Structure 1
């Protein structure tokens, strides 16, 4: 990526781990401190992304695993080029729900594709762009499922997968964090939201 002055923070974790709650709390904390924050997500952070999101999460039929990975990569290429990079160049804080680590975990481990190939595809799509900080909300699959069930809303294609799928996803996220400890902050998502938020703020304060 070109030189930038903003800060890029991504949130990762399994479905039901509380990413949305923590993103909202972090956005408010940063905004109250006077920062300009852009909240975005993958897929779906652009007009093109909305279309891709509908396909990968809500399409009623099967999608071949490689096709699914390519759709996520296409969304990522457009999102980074048209949303993330311009915001960073404006000096904003980009707060993003999911990035390439989700592709490695969900399409690599979950769909049992080659994780290295999935990562390389995403890096090519995003011109090698990596966030300054990745917050990983770690939660076991059983607890996450209980949270999703209590939300009383229809499951999307990934949320509907079996426990074995979500266990592979979690293990992959933890392996990614272990491989890049300087980029990741792993948080126990079973803790109270305010406790998690305090841990996040302590790390983010050093960046902003």
Structure 2
């Protein structure tokens, strides 16, 4: 793949969607061809699965929920991410496989080794690996305040879970970032939006030479 694949990860209220959008705008201003997308979602089929997973009122088993996320991801990669990378684009994705590990493996599954192993095996079947993952981290108090400030939008089933769940998710992201410290860069996202974006641009800059000269 000749493009550049960047993912944003982190718990609720970390500012991933905002920072992903700002980075995409910045890269477009530099003249790069950017595809900004999200998970679960990114294609019509994956968006339908997103609506079911986040708002469908289902009670899937942990294994079934993991497989549903990877079904959405497979369609997203096959129909959008892989073609964009093959065309030399920069793909900026709000969540990817790390979120499944953190939310389903550590959060809902409470670190169950069998479930984490299943996620790892399914990840190995996905033919797209981010070159850079930006893991945004904030304190529980900041995350809660930001979530409360979002207004009257729909609250998804993960946002509605208790603080213990969100603590496990945060611990999961931290474990992933420490394990994959070449790919993952942890970012203190508690600062002002502009300051966080400045930090992100400085981290991303060295990765741009290849796609800029392609």
Superposition TM-score, scaled by structure 1 size: 0.94
Q: Which runs of 4+ in 1 moved over 4 A?
A: none
Corresponding residue number in structure 2 for 1:29: 26
What secondary structure is seen at the aligned counterpart in 2 of 1:169?
helix
Shift of 1:122: 2.6
Q: Structure 1: where are the runs of 5+ without partners?
A: none
Distance in 1 between the 2:90 and 2:47 partners? 22
Distance in 2 between the 1:47 and 1:150 partners? 29
Residues 76 and 122 of structure 1 are in contact (CA less than 8 Å); yes or no, is this contact kept in structure 2?
no
Superposition TM-score, scaled by structure 2 size: 0.91
Corresponding residue number in structure 2 for 1:136: 135
Give the root-mean-square deviation of aligned CA atoms: 1.1
Q: Structure 2: where are the runs of 5+ without partners?
A: 209-214
Pick which of 82-91 and 133-142 moved more.
Answer: 133-142
- 2:151 maps to 1:154: no
- 2:92 maps to 1:91: no
Residues 57 and 158 of structure 1 are in contact (CA less than 8 Å); yes or no, is this contact kept in structure 2?
yes
Shift of 1:50: 1.0
Residues 70 and 122 of structure 2 are in contact (CA less than 8 Å); yes or no, is this contact kept in structure 1?
yes
Residues 43 and 80 of structure 2 are in contact (CA less than 8 Å); yes or no, is this contact kept in structure 1?
yes
Residues 42 and 97 of structure 1 are in contact (CA less than 8 Å); yes or no, is this contact kept in structure 2?
yes
Describe how 1:45-84 pairs up with structure 2 within 5 A: 45-84=42-81
Corresponding residue number in structure 1 for 2:166: 166
Shift of 1:20: 1.2
Count of aligned pairs between the two proteins? 203
